[in-house]
Amino acid sequence: FIDTANLDEIAEAQALGILDGVTTNPSLMAKEGITGEQNILNHYVKICEIVDGDVSAEVISTDFEGMVKEGEALAALHPQIVVKLPLIADGIKACKYFSDKGIRTNVTLVFSAGQALLAAKAGATYVSPFLGRLDDISTDGLNLIAEIRQIYDNYQFNTQILAASIRHTMHVIDCAKLGSDVMTGPLKSITGLLKHPLTDIGLAKF
Burial 150-164 (b: 16+ CB within 10 A, else e): eebeeeebebbbbbb
The pLDDT value given to residue 139: 87
* Domains defined along the chain, listed by start: 2-205 (3.20.20.70)
pTM of the model: 0.95
Active site residues: 84
Q: What is the pLDDT of residues 49-68, one digit of tens each?
A: 999 999 999 999 999 999 99
pLDDT of residue 137 exceeding 90: no
Nearest to 185 by CA among 162, 156, 154: 162
How confident is the model at residue 132, as a pLDDT?
82
